[in-house]
Amino acid sequence: MPSFDATLDPSYAVAVDIGGTFTDISLLDRNSGSMWRAKTPSVPSDPSQAFMVGIRSVMEDAGISAKDLSRVLHGTTVATNMILEDKGARTALVTTRGFRHVLEIGRQDIPRHANLFTWVKPARPVPADRIHEIVERIGTGGKVLEPLDEDSVKQVVDALKTQTVEAVAVCLLHAYANPDHEIRVAEILRKALPGVAVTCSTDVLPVVREFERSLATVLNASVMPGVSSYISRLQERLDEAEAASPLLLMQSNGGVAGTEAIRVAPALTALSGPAAGVVGAVDAAAVCGIRDIITVDIGGTSADICLIRNGTVALTQQGKVGEWPLSLPMVDMVTIGAGGGSIAEVNNDTLAVGPHSAGARPGPAAYGHGGGQATVTDAHVTLGNLPHALLGGSMSLDVEAARRVVSESVAKPLGLGEEDAAQGILAIMNNNMIGAVRTVSVERGHDPREFTLVPFGGAGPLHGCALAELLGISNVMVPPAPGLLCAAGLLAADMKAEFTQALPMPGPVDQGAGDAIVSELTSKAEEWLDTEGVSVEQRVLKARALLRFHGQGGEIAVDWGFSAMETEENFRAAHEALYGFVLDAPIELVTIRVEALGRTEPIRVPALDAAAKPAPLQTQMVHWPAGALETPIYDRAALGSGVEIPGPAILTQLDTTSIIAPGWIARVHGSGALLLTRNAA
């Protein structure tokens, strides 16, 4: 089914983002800009249950049926969780004779914060006994040095049958330069092993670097059966509801794609949840006229930080999922183990917060599910930063339990009062995140003070003012529904795909040869856009070149120019902006990429009506760093356009709680976003 169906009313689109604790749903009427939102408990054993329960909930609120939906968008962590938890399919790897140890050798570097003397290399995702070699050899320029010996492939087939594998990854030497052998091997395997998922490196990552290419292919193969089954379950539920709309899934690159593309390369969804949040933040900021932002997405377990310059979401091919590098295009962000469920504990008179989390069950003690360890959420409750009930009043907090675990786990071991201990927990949490913010800003030549901080996620708005003060940032923007922003990002996301061709041999920029590759990739991109049903008016194609100075180990992506000189100048400018210098060395062209977009119509945001400042719902004693103050609590939904709320104040809503710290003032933008400004004094 095409992702754009002209026979359907384009008005209604629904987005579903499934998290570990809650599933977030947003339904949009594009004609009026009206939005209906819901949260429903996730069902880890079968996420598709919450998927459909949530959709039915918002459709009932809007008074429509599934037949009225034009698009169903989904952000999924199925592939991510299978990789992180090592629960993918039983996978084998087929490679060129002499290269079975590529995965084991890996790279010479170790993780950034690891100890050189104590770090232990993690177990490879495919054990050595399931790595099989075949006889063939292709050279760096794509020339066949040794023909494919199909008898050796048949011997591998026999071995695979005895190992009862569920998926096979095929990654042959230099297949990016000539995929013929890989294609033929995959044909033989699919015919001989019916029901076994088979994937080739040329379908996943057709670029240089054998370790990264092999790893991406293996991870893609391992999640193929699980993701395919999951997509089938979702489609069955939509069919049962008589929904004729196409199902689109979020990718790590910040765009969405149809189910057929995801079935072939499910690893593209590995970081789809955080990517959707970034897209939503960019969209919400753009409505307010803000283009330079630093996003901080804080959930229950982790925090994702991303810098956006001039409204453009940067991509990287140096990303990681857990311990594994995954060199697929993904939103350039940093993830750390810091969230509302992060556990605070004292070891050797030293307080540490995270990366371990209390998770959804038992969760923080304040949630009343038996949690016995102090968490960041318990610290907030102890200080009075949270109202005594969340989720619109439907979830009561156990304040006494929160104070008790903070006292027993942190305050007494350190000889502190409960409030001082809670302040210490939040201070460490915030400073952990500051390090991640500096990684995406200061370490890359950006001054964070020139950006607006955009905190979101269930816990983000609780930390916005504190993080901004530590960074010297004077402006904070809190989106209208920060706890549901990933779902909103899905609604704003474009269709997106990348088509890549590595040069047989890196060398000087050859305009003629490069234009020929661009033309070939553009044809593939147009074919994909045709398949997805994207109209000509909605299409955007961009050619990019990955270049490096001779001797360097990594490339920078820049726009492909109309001449070799223009492309090289683009590279020099990008290199200087990123590193502060350029080298007096030849420039090498390594890879060419064509990015294909199917533009989504901008979301129409109805302007809030102006209103007088409402009376607070209540007041509550809050222990701020400078002292305790009786603090008003407001219902954010009651705030009209132009209303100003000076700090200290607490704003409560269905999906999150926002703090306006002393010394800050919040103004409600016409879109519903909160614009917080720090007093000059």
What is the per-residue pLDDT across 357-411, written as a single tens digit (0 to 9) for each?
A: 887 678 899 988 888 899 999 999 999 999 887 766 667 899 999 999 999 999 9
Cis bond upstream, residue 355 (ω within 30):
yes
Average pLDDT over residues 584-603: 92
Return d(Cα 180, Cα 170) in angstroms, integer: 12
Burial of 28 (0-12, 13-18, 19+ CB in 10 A): buried
State the average pLDDT for the chain: 90
Q: Are the beta carbons of 11 and 31 closer than 8 angstroms?
A: yes
pLDDT level of residue 294 (50, 70, 90 thresholds): very high
Q: Are the beta carbons of 330 and 271 closer than 8 angstroms?
A: yes
Does the pLDDT value for residue 449 go beyond 80?
A: yes
- Residues of the chain with pLDDT > 70, as a percent, come to 97
pLDDT digits 0-9 by tens, 47-65: 888 899 999 999 999 999 9
Return d(Cα 541, Cα 594) in angstroms, integer: 7
pLDDT at residue 326, as a whole number? 86
Burial of 3 (0-12, 13-18, 19+ CB in 10 A): buried
pLDDT level of residue 315 (50, 70, 90 thresholds): confident
Q: Is the dihedral of CA 192, 164, 259, 215 positive or negative?
A: negative
Written as six digits, the tokens of 150 are: 């199909």
Does the pLDDT value for residue 87 go beyond 90?
A: no
> Which residue, chain included where needed, has tokens 């170790």?
110
- Residues of the chain with pLDDT > 90, as a percent, come to 65
- Reduced to 3 states (helix: H, G, I; strand: E, B; else coil), residue 7 is coil
Beta bridge partners of 368: none
For 113, residues 6+ apart whose C-beta sits below 8 A from its C-beta are: none
pLDDT at residue 20, as a whole number? 66
Q: Is the dihedral of CA 234, 236, 238, 240 positive or negative?
A: negative
Return d(Cα 550, Cα 488) in angstroms, integer: 43
pLDDT at residue 6, as a whole number? 46
Which of 490, 494, 497 shows the shortest CA–CA distance to 531? Answer: 497
pLDDT at residue 9, as a whole number? 53
Cis bond upstream, residue 648 (ω within 30):
yes
Range of lowest pLDDT (332-341, 409-418, 538-547):
332-341
| Alpha carbon distances (Å) from 436 to 330, 432, 440, 486 | 18, 7, 7, 20
Helices 210-240 and 47-62: crossing angle in degrees, nearest 10, is 50
Return d(Cα 145, Cα 148) in angstroms, integer: 10
pLDDT digits 0-9 by tens, 114-134: 777 888 888 888 999 999 999
Return d(Cα 130, Cα 135) in angstroms, integer: 17
- Reduced to 3 states (helix: H, G, I; strand: E, B; else coil), residue 518 is helix
DSSP class of residue 54?
Answer: H
pLDDT at residue 2, as a whole number? 57
pLDDT at residue 8, as a whole number? 47
pLDDT at residue 652, as a whole number? 94
Q: Are the beta carbons of 652 and 617 closer than 8 angstroms?
A: yes
Average pLDDT over residues 470-489: 93
Three-state SS for 155-210 is HHHHHHHHHCCCEEEEECCCCCCCCHHHHHHHHHHHHHCCCCEEEEHHHHCCCCCH
pLDDT at residue 308, as a whole number? 95
Return d(Cα 102, Cα 210) in angstroms, integer: 7
More confident residue, 318 or 647: 647
Top-ranked range on mean pLDDT: pick from 16-25, 482-491, 668-677: 668-677
First to last CA, the chain: 59
Return d(Cα 84, Cα 273) in angstroms, integer: 15
pLDDT digits 0-9 by tens, 144-191: 999 999 999 999 999 999 999 999 999 999 999 999 999 999 999 999
Does the pLDDT value for residue 337 go beyond 60?
A: yes
Element (H, E) at 564: helix 564-579
pLDDT at residue 619, as a whole number? 94
| Alpha carbon distances (Å) from 334 to 307, 435, 572, 619, 622 | 10, 10, 26, 37, 32
* Angle at alpha carbon of residue 17, lines to 14 and 22, rounded to 5°: 120
Q: Are the beta carbons of 150 and 477 closer than 8 angstroms?
A: no
Average pLDDT over residues 220-231: 93
Q: Are the beta carbons of 387 and 620 closer than 8 angstroms?
A: yes
Q: Are the beta carbons of 349 and 415 closer than 8 angstroms?
A: no
| Alpha carbon distances (Å) from 642 to 111, 394, 560, 612, 633 | 48, 29, 45, 9, 18
Return d(Cα 317, Cα 300) in angstroms, integer: 27
Please tell me the chain's helix, strand, coil percentages from 3-state DSSP, rounded to the nearest 5: 35, 30, 35
Backbone angles phi, psi at 55, to 5 degrees: -65, -45
Which of 584, 578, 608, 625 shows the shortest CA–CA distance to 670? Answer: 608
pLDDT level of residue 3 (50, 70, 90 thresholds): low
pLDDT at residue 681, as a whole number? 53
Average pLDDT over residues 560-579: 93
pLDDT digits 0-9 by tens, 522-534: 999 999 999 888 9
DSSP class of residue 301?
Answer: S
Average pLDDT over residues 464-490: 94
